[in-house]
Amino acid sequence: MRPPTNQEIIKLLSEMVVFYEMDDVPFKPQAYERVVQAIETLDREVADIYNEQGVDGLRKIPGVGEGIAYHLELLIKKGTFLEYEKYKKKIPVRISELLAVEGLGAKTIKTLYQKLKIKNLADLEKAATAGKIQKLPHFGAKSEEKILKGIEFLKKSKGRFTLGHLLPIINLIENRLRKIPGVQHVTTAGSVRRMQDTVGDIDILVTAKNSAKVMEVFVKMPEVEHVYGRGLTKTNVRLNLPAGGGIDADVRVVPEAVYGAALQYFTGSKEHNIEVRKLAIKKGYKLSEYGLFRGKKLIAAKTEEDVYKKLGLIWIPPEIRTASGEIEAALRQAQGISPGLPNLIPYGSIRGDLQIQTNWTDGANSLEEMVKAAMAVGLEYIAITDHTRSLAMTGGLDEKGLARQAKEIDRINKKLQATCLPDRQASYPMGRWPTGQIGKLQVLKSAEVNVLKDGKLDIADEALKKLDLVSMAIHSHFHLSEKEQTERIIRAIKHPLVNIFFHPTGRVIGRRPAYALDMAKILRAAKEYGVAMEINSFPDRLDLKDTHIRQAVEIGVKLVIDSDAHSVQHFAFYNLGIGQARRGWATKKDVLNTLPCGEFLKAIKSLKK
DNA sequence: GCCGTTTTCGGCCCGACTGTTTTCAGTCG
């Protein structure tokens, strides 16, 4: 039997949360919830941990004690456990299916099952359409309508959206709210401020004197499809997105005097906030979105810095507020003990882009157009990385093709440096580039060399030697076993000419999961054989993931952050990649392409002892 | 069911809004 994946374990444990809640069992739901959260942020398979370290390994997962470790062991060995089977028999309801409907929770699911025998989404829709739900005690016409709306939403919604695709609409909404008289701050908090790769909803925090006016403007926006709830401090709507689909958005309006406390609260993550509030309680305080209090006395609220400081912490960057060691680090730093918080890589600090495709293969623009666009966003060097021979669908280049392209690059290097000066003041969707020295964009010869099934590269060494930089990538045989895939990748990493591993997990958010691989092993090999790992900034790649970046940083593997631009519009995404790097605790020193061109080349070559 | 610079027993985050109520439970973040 195949051992359960983390996703399957999470689904089962989440159902246990609801079963216990339906059964009015106290405290167990929270205990299970905590384990679900821990496994969600785990960068390894629980089954692998068990196979290597047994029950002791399971108990090292935060929140897993004797009882849950025992359940997990059975789950891994038998695919289920007694307690779960017991409840499934007692309450034969498709929990996760019903839970996905907006507004339904454990208690409602219980009532619907007991009174109307509703076991799944189809039963629910039938009962709601027939008007049976509104006749139940404590339900009414509105509850029923809400359920039908929820089902409809579920049918056409794809769930989470990538941050990169949402930013334009978020900027639009923020700007509308900023124009309202009396409005002071407008900040999108939540997962957007934490720069998470995907976003489930949009949380906008506003400070204003007249909240009624803010809510009025907000609910009347053309994108608003439905208003879930509207109050003077909180309004909740559903937006229609221009690209199709819909997403929920909240606005909270608070007085300017409590902006910091509210921002801290609404930025999350939920887990981070729970830890911070526990710390507050320990110190005799109470923390809410209205401030830090001792009894009824307000201690801090104006800025986030104040709130953290009064708790004995230093300010923690939003990207790492995940309850995974940042609070302890902030505590240490406030006391002058190291290691404190990492000095995260600043936005706007990328000087060179090492993955760019042109119309020599699957890019939309010519080499020259891409070079000009790169200069316009203020880059100092770029590597041209068209695909190689075996990627037939893109018309991948062979050794001769690469040689021809090299000549073209030589020509452009000569021509453009004299004639095209970058406009470093230009403002771009993702932010403003720093002013600096002008001129001199260096175009490097490179390639996105395809790794064959056996781990060999598809270009001869003689041709690779002529490139400034060699990058490898996986584009086929995604379904090898974890062991085979890992060995294949490590064989390629061992190649003496390889410098960078592009989009290492191969995931495409919302379309394709990562292929099976043992990232810890791959990172150790990358360290040993001097290969840098890419953080691909493309909105639906963002690969490496945050947890892998943190592993890489801990091991001392060097990183690069690229756009993977396939057209001139794609130079707008660096800050997504930097946000991802920050989520992985990366500093400027960890990311090689924050260096000027000459130093970068020296640094990346020196990895290969 | 978990966990420990108040604790190996006794705690477990906080508040807004809704719908159906006549004082509040459920859901959400």
Domain with CATH 3.20.20.140 in chain A: 352-606
Residues 356-415 on chain A lying near strand B, CB distance under 7 A: none
Determine whether the distance from the CB of A33 to the nearest atom of strand B is below 7 Å.
no
| DSSP track, A197-244 | SEESEEEEEEEES-HHHHHHHHHTSTTEEEEEEE-SSEEEEEEE-TTS
> What does the pLDDT look like over A235-261, one tens digit per residue?
999 887 766 667 889 999 999 999 999
Question: Cα separation of A255 and A233, whole Å?
Answer: 10
Which residues sit opposite A367 in a β-bridge? none
What's the token pair of residue A250?
A: 């909240």
Q: Report CA(A284)–C1'(B22) in Å, whole number.
A: 37
Q: What pLDDT score was predicted for residue A426? A: 37
Question: Cα separation of A421 and A441, whole Å?
Answer: 9
pTM as predicted = 0.77
Q: Report CA(A24)–C1'(B1) in Å, whole number.
A: 14
Domain with CATH 3.30.460.10 in chain A: 162-334
Determine whether the distance from the CB of A327 to the nearest atom of strand B is below 7 Å.
no
Q: Report CA(A136)–C1'(B20) in Å, whole number.
A: 11
Q: What pLDDT score was predicted for residue A428? A: 35
Residues 490-509 on chain A lying near strand B, CB distance under 7 A: none
pLDDT at A154 exceeding the cut of 80: no
What's the token pair of residue A138?
A: 């404590």
Percent of chain A with pLDDT over 70: 93
> What does the pLDDT look like over A406-461, one tens digit per residue?
998 888 888 765 333 333 333 333 333 333 334 568 899 999 999 988 899 988 89
What's the token pair of residue A311?
A: 């708790």
Query: What's the mean pLDDT when you consider all of chain A?
Result: 87
Percent of chain A with pLDDT over 90: 51
Q: Report CA(A22)–C1'(B8) in Å, whole number.
A: 30
Query: Helix-strand-coil percent breakdown of chain A, rounded to 5?
Result: 45, 15, 35
On whether the A162-334 domain is CATH 3.30.460.10, my answer is yes
pLDDT at A533 exceeding the cut of 90: yes
> What does the pLDDT look like over A174-216, one tens digit per residue?
999 999 999 999 999 999 999 999 898 899 999 998 899 999 9
Q: Which amino acid is at A547?
A: T
Fold of the A352-606 domain: TIM Barrel (3.20.20)
For the purposes of burial, counting CB atoms within 10 Å of the CB of A92, is it exposed (0-12), middle (13-18) or buried (19 or more)? Answer: exposed
> Which nt sits closest to A290, CA to C1'?
B15
> What does the pLDDT look like over A56-83, one tens digit per residue?
999 988 889 999 999 999 999 998 999 9
pLDDT at A148 exceeding the cut of 70: yes
Question: Cα separation of A158 and A244, whole Å?
Answer: 10
Determine whether the distance from the CB of A132 to the nearest atom of strand B is below 7 Å.
no
Return the minimum-mean-pLDDT range out of A38-42, A169-173, A176-180, A291-295: A38-42
- Whether A349 and A374 have beta carbons less than 8 Å apart is answered as no
Residues 204-263 on chain A lying near strand B, CB distance under 7 A: 228-234, 248, 250
Q: How many CB atoms are located within 10 Å of the residue A599 CB?
A: 12
Compute the average pLDDT of residues A106-131: 89
Task: Select A6-157's CATH number: 1.10.150.110, 3.30.420.40, 1.10.760.10, 3.30.565.10.
Answer: 1.10.150.110
- Whether A285 and A293 have beta carbons less than 8 Å apart is answered as yes
Domain with CATH 1.10.150.110 in chain A: 6-157
Compute the average pLDDT of residues A399-409: 89
The set of residues, in sequence order, having a beta carbon less than 8 Å from that of A472 and lying 6+ positions away, is A448, A449, A450, A451, A457, A492, A493, A495, A498, A500, A501, A502, A531
Higher pLDDT, A368 or A179: A179
Residues 83-122 on chain A lying near strand B, CB distance under 7 A: 83, 102-109
What's the token pair of residue A340?
A: 């404190």
For strand B, give the nucleotides within 7 A of a protein CB: 1-3, 6, 11-21, 25-29
pLDDT at A158 exceeding the cut of 60: no
